Amino acid sequence: MRETARRHAGVGGRPAPSKEIDREILLSFWKVHILHHAAEEPLVGQWMLEELRRHGYSVSPGTLYPVLRRMEARGWLRCKVDPRGGKRARREYTLTPRGRRVLDLVREYVRELGEEVGRPGPGSGTPTGRHRRHR
């Protein structure tokens, strides 16, 4: 099935973002979701795919599983593999102490970004008064 045929409506019923936006911006959002949910309880890839899709993100297994492996390689997640499962064994990911520090830092940045991006500003007809345009 073609990638465009698999895309569904984005968050809030808006059209799904382009592949370029997925790669350049939303990949970081996905990582924040992964860190957040791994902090709550162990997660498995299939559940995470469904959770991201529930939020309107179009993520394939071919994208998610390498992200999980990179996050594990960075020491943010720990992967526990069912030894009886063979090649397709269930893999549970949990947050490591290093991953907790990353999540705490990201939460600070997200809070600040939300305060700035979430209020009316340039283009909305309501100036913020905080920033001047540089010419």
Tell me the pLDDT of the chain (135 aa) as tens digits. 333 333 444 555 555 667 777 677 888 889 999 999 999 999 999 999 999 999 888 889 999 999 999 999 999 999 999 888 888 888 999 999 999 999 999 999 999 998 888 877 666 555 554 544 433
Q: What is the pLDDT of residue 118?
A: 82
Per-residue confidence (pLDDT) for residue 133, from 0 to 100 = 40
Query: What is the CATH number assigned to the segment(s) 15-114?
Result: 1.10.10.10
| Model pLDDT, residue 1 | 32
Q: Of 74, 58, 68, give the one whose Cα is nearest residue 7.
A: 58
CA distances, 96 to each of 63, 68, 88, 122, 130 (Å): 22, 13, 23, 40, 38
Q: Cα–Cα distance between 39 and 11 in angstroms, integer? A: 23
The two tokens of residue 91 are: 């893999």
Residue 121 has what pLDDT? 66
pTM over 0.85: no
